[in-house]
Amino acid sequence: MSNRANADEELAVMAEKAYGRDALYSNIHCLALFECEVNMLRALMDEVGTNRALETIRPFNIFVGKWIAGMAKQRFALQGDDVEAVAMPYYWAHCGTSNGRIKPMEIREGKAIVELYACGSEIFHAPPEICVAVSHYIAEGMCEAINPNYEFVFTHHLANGDDRCRYVVKKKSDKFSLDNLGRLERNIPLDLTQAERDMWVEWEAVGDLGTFTFMSIELVGSQRTIEIVAPLQRSTGLRLGAILKRDAGGKNDLSTLRDGLDLLCCPYSQTESSALLSDGGIEKEIADCPFRQYFPVNPNNLPIHEMCMQLEEVLKGICEAMNPDYEFAFDRMMSKGDKTCHWVVRKKAIEKSARQQESSQDDSFSY
């Protein structure tokens, strides 16, 4: 088995271990987006440096933390500003993003302690800076929104190689020791419905990809953003396509290719209908942008088209891995001003390409 195949298999096994095989396949569209956000952050840090990237992301994710705190106040009817109120918003979110692999929140002598055991950053070998860019800055915003006298102290990160993620919420003036977090006063279990868990997984995946893409455009522009991240997103698609083809028994016919693309596209097309096989290819029209709810402050609630272009690269990679004789392309995108989104899979125009190459060679010898 090649090194690439070994790496693909390792990631598939890690994802199944963290989320369970059924959950992996029901949420593979979200996991794909999570890997896309990791790719975008990594590309941005490589391009402008870690410090500059994080400095640009920080104020935006502080705002996100305040916004999540507002959601939690409504969801749990939070009235006070004690440690439980400060910790609840992120505890709620992490109950969702960990797919329930989290301990009930502990209250210990005025402190709140949360531990979770599943995170996409571990699966995709995310750089540890992602914990700062997302968790630390969002937590900072939550404290500002509910009680700025509190702080989150992150003691463990799965992305750093720890066996868990853990944070302690406490007053800034309080001292504490990792060896003695205080007497346990009570546990606060939180039982989310699967729909609520799915909501948080999608909010995290879509929101963080949007945030990192926004920041990259601000720092290096639209064209350069796509240039630096497209190869990484295509690689993600190639890996996912290899896994899907493996699980399909190696088949690469159009029906199998359609099923693989549908697995990622249907949840974001807000319909269970499959893509259509037609004229030796595949096509699908999407009448309403599935990402509208995640971009309430954008014009027409639409994502930026650079985000959609990254997803296109993933789907191109899946198509290439499952059947390299075919190619994937969006020919309409709502984020670019079209009324609907529409994508196609068509056989590669090998003969046309050959004729163009011959024509180019002829032109090179003209005087």
Q: Which pLDDT band, with edges at 50, 70 and 90, does 231 fall under?
A: very high
**pLDDT beyond 60 at 339:** yes
pLDDT score of 349? 79
**pLDDT beyond 70 at 355:** no
- The arithmetic mean of pLDDT across residues 70-86, rounded, is 95
3-197 has CATH 3.30.1380 classification: yes
Q: Which tokens belong to 226?
A: 């796509």
**pLDDT beyond 50 at 173:** yes
Mean pLDDT of the chain: 86
> Nearest-CA neighbor of 115 among 186, 184, 168?
168
235-355 has CATH 3.30.1380 classification: yes
- The arithmetic mean of pLDDT across residues 88-113, rounded, is 94
> Nearest-CA neighbor of 257 among 289, 283, 285?
283
**pLDDT beyond 60 at 364:** no
- Biggest alpha carbon distance in the chain? 88
Q: Which pLDDT band, with edges at 50, 70 and 90, does 177 fall under?
A: confident
Q: Which tokens belong to 9?
A: 């298999």
Angle (CA) 43 47 51, round 5°: 95
**pLDDT beyond 50 at 179:** yes
pLDDT score of 138? 97
Task: Please check whether residue 89 is in contact with residue 69, taking contact to mean a CB–CB distance below 8 angstroms.
Answer: yes
Quick count: other Cβ atoms within 10 Å of Cβ 249? 7
pLDDT score of 103? 96
| pLDDT digit string, tens, across residues 138-158 | 999 999 999 999 999 999 998
pLDDT score of 365? 38
Q: Which pLDDT band, with edges at 50, 70 and 90, does 22 fall under?
A: very low
**pLDDT beyond 70 at 338:** yes
pLDDT score of 107? 97
Q: What is the DSSP secondary structure assignment for residue 174, as one 8-state letter?
A: -
Pseudo-torsion of CA 17, 34, 126, 104, nearest 10°? -60
pLDDT score of 166? 96
d(CA 275, CA 31): 21
**pLDDT beyond 90 at 262:** no
- The arithmetic mean of pLDDT across residues 253-276, rounded, is 78
Whole-structure pTM value: 0.86
3-197 and 235-355: same fold?
yes
Q: How far is CA 284 from the centre of its chain?
A: 23
pLDDT score of 359? 54
- The arithmetic mean of pLDDT across residues 284-305, rounded, is 83
Domain locations along the chain: 3-197, 235-355
Which residues touch 237 (CB under 8 Å, ≥6 apart)? 313, 314, 315, 316, 317, 318, 319, 320, 321
Q: How far is CA 93 from the centre of its chain?
A: 14
Q: Which pLDDT band, with edges at 50, 70 and 90, does 366 fall under?
A: very low
